[in-house]
């Protein structure tokens, strides 16, 4: 599989990014930029063509581009982030996806939706009910995706759904059950394997699907990476430690568009 990797460079104010469930740590903007460049290079090496959204140096959380748009086929659902200070991030993302020929629609008030709360697995679309995504936002997404099975999932102690769970290439869900409403995931249906694969490290719950048996993970989860290699996956790891200090993970730094 190949396609477009939508990304956005971190700016000099990234250290001011929002944190919700973790203690704030100092973030090095220069190191974050180097790590971001290596992340983008890893996507390119896997066959994904990087397309950079216009930089936004005055918006600290802008590199977490996944939160601004949900792409399903040729439809780009522009979100309305739950944090008001992040809403200006969406305009440049809209320009980028329209430039790629996608049809763009918007989540509107009073709905709120962060793309990090949306996990697509086959025909199922799991959406975290979080401090950033409300019931109206979930309802609007369901109306925009009538052919998909949109399923709300309550969260506990994490920023976004994909902070707690993602999916492997065969559809197996990997995540931390302590943060999830397992009943909402309905693991026995929708061709999901029974149960939930638990990562060895918290950051091991975050997997980007690169196509085929290839996945991208954070270097902070080496034991989980080894576990996935034992399952036959081709694992690439990248150091994103500066972004992890802001509750970021490998999924939120890009939007892959096949």
Active-site choice (179, 206, 249, 252): 252
Return the residue matching tokens 């919700």: 20
Give yes or no: 21 in active site.
Answer: no
Shortest CA distance to 120 belongs to which of 135, 95, 141? 141
Helix residue ranges, H only, the chain? 29-45, 90-99, 135-144, 182-185, 222-230, 241-244
Residue 190, pLDDT > 50, answer no
For residue range 192-232, list pLDDT tens digits in order: 445 699 999 999 999 999 999 999 999 999 999 999 999 99
Query: What pTM did the predictor assign?
Result: 0.96
What is the CATH code of the structural domain delimited by 3-257?
A: 3.75.10.10
* Active-site hit among 36, 160, 179, 206: 160
| Longest alpha-carbon distance in the chain | 46
DSSP string, 159-194: SSGGGTEEE-TTS-EEE-GGGB-HHHHTTTSTTPPS
252 in active site: yes
Domain range list for the chain: 3-257
Q: Give the per-residue pLDDT at 219.
A: 98
3-state DSSP assignment of residue 109: coil
Query: What is the per-residue pLDDT across 12-24, written as a single tens digit (0 to 9) for each?
Result: 999 999 999 999 9
Share of the chain above pLDDT 90, in %: 94
Peptide bond connecting 110 to the previous residue in cis, omega within 30 degrees of 0 = yes
How far, rounded to the nearest angstrom, does the alpha carbon of residue 49 sit from its chain's CA centroid? 18
Distance between start and end Cα atoms, the chain: 7
Distance, CA of 42 to CA of 145 (rounded, Å)? 31
Q: In the structure, what pLDDT confidence band is assigned to residue 186 with cuts at 50, 70 and 90?
A: confident
- 60-114: pLDDT as tens digits: 999 999 999 999 999 999 999 999 999 999 999 999 999 999 999 999 999 999 9
pLDDT one-digit tens code per residue, 32-68: 999 999 999 999 999 999 999 999 999 999 999 999 9
């Amino acid at each position: 599989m190949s396609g477009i990797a939508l990304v956005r460079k971190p700016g000099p104010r990234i250290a001011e990014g929002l944190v919700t469930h973790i203690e704030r740590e100092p973030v090095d903007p220069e190191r974050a930029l180097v790590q971001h460049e290596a992340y983008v290079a890893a996507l390119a090496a896997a066959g994904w063509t990087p397309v950079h959204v216009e930089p936004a140096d005055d918006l600290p959380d802008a590199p977490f581009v996944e939160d601004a748009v949900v792409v399903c086929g040729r439809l780009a659902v522009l979100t309305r982030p739950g944090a008001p200070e992040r809403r200006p991030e969406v305009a440049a993302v809209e320009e980028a996806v329209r430039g790629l020929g996608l049809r763009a629609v918007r989540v509107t008030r009073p709905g709120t939706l962060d793309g990090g709360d949306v996990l697509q697995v086959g025909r199922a679309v799991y959406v975290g009910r979080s401090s950033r995504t409300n019931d109206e936002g979930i309802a609007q997404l369901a109306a925009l995706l009538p052919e998909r099975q949109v399923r709300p999932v309550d969260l506990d102690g994490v920023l976004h759904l994909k902070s707690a769970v993602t999916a492997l290439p065969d559809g197996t869900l990997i995540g931390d059950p302590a943060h999830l409403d397992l009943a909402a995931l309905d693991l026995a249906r929708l061709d999901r394997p029974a149960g939930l694969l638990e990562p060895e490290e918290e950051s091991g719950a975050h997997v980007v699907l690169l196509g085929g048996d290839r996945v991208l993970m954070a270097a902070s989860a080496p034991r989980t990476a080894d576990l996935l290699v034992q399952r036959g996956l081709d694992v690439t790891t990248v150091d994103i430690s500066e972004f992890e200090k802001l509750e970021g993970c490998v999924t939120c730094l890009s939007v892959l568009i096949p």
